[in-house]
Amino acid sequence: MDKRSEANRQTRVSIARALLHLLGSKEFSDITVTDIVEEAHVARASYYRNFSSKEDILVNAGRLIMDDFGKAIGEIEGGCLSYEGVVLTFRYFREYRIELLRLHEAGFTSIYERLFQEYVACAAKGRIPRGMLRYGVSFYTGALFNVYVRWLENGMKESPERMASLFYTMMAAAFESVGTSFMESDKLDKAVGVHRCETVAEER
């Protein structure tokens, strides 16, 4: 990559990160181009050279979030299809709760669901039977993302571990009901155990 291309890439990253940072304190609709370029420390012309709208930035910002997520989960065997990966998924997206809540309220949740689905589709190859890959991944990511959104809307009162045990148990049962399972039995046992222990504690 030549210096000019790299400089342009860095500008796009700076603008995307600036928008994410601003979402921590302002509503999406209230953020102006001036706010973004000042936060990113770039020229206004650089903004218009790289993006046509704030919505365009959201896609780029979403890819940054997913790139960081991929690095964080890359060392976990099975990625976000494993129990530990699901725990990390809930932990990671909790870090972006303010920004994602703002975007959810502004009606842009689908952007991040699609990017998350693209990521999982790549990670799932070889773990979900090819005949089920397209729809299986859509089923899995849709369920995980929508559980996350409901958790987000409810103020994230439960721990990431609690959410992961609930989700992993439900999804394992769903996939087993159609004759396929990509979830490790020992991880499932662990998730079920955590779920039962926490349920007993809540009842007390």
- C-alpha distances out from residue 165 to 23, 147, 162, 183, Å: 30, 12, 5, 13
β-sheet bridge partners, residue 125: 128
* Structure token pair of residue 33: 């181009």
Better-predicted residue by pLDDT, 74 or 101? 101
| Chain segment 145-193, per-residue pLDDT in tens | 899 999 999 999 999 999 998 888 887 777 665 444 445 544 544 544 4
Nearest to 31 by CA among 81, 89, 106, 136: 106
| Chain segment 120-150, per-residue pLDDT in tens | 877 766 666 666 666 777 888 888 889 999 9
- Distance from C-alpha of 5 to C-alpha of 17, rounded to nearest angstrom: 18
Nearest to 145 by CA among 198, 69, 58, 72: 69
- Distance from C-alpha of 174 to C-alpha of 197, rounded to nearest angstrom: 22
- C-alpha distances out from residue 162 to 21, 33, 72, 147, 195, Å: 28, 40, 20, 12, 7
Which of left, alpha, beta for 156 (phi over 0: left; psi -120 to 50: alpha)? left
User: Which pLDDT value is given to residue 184?
Assistant: 52
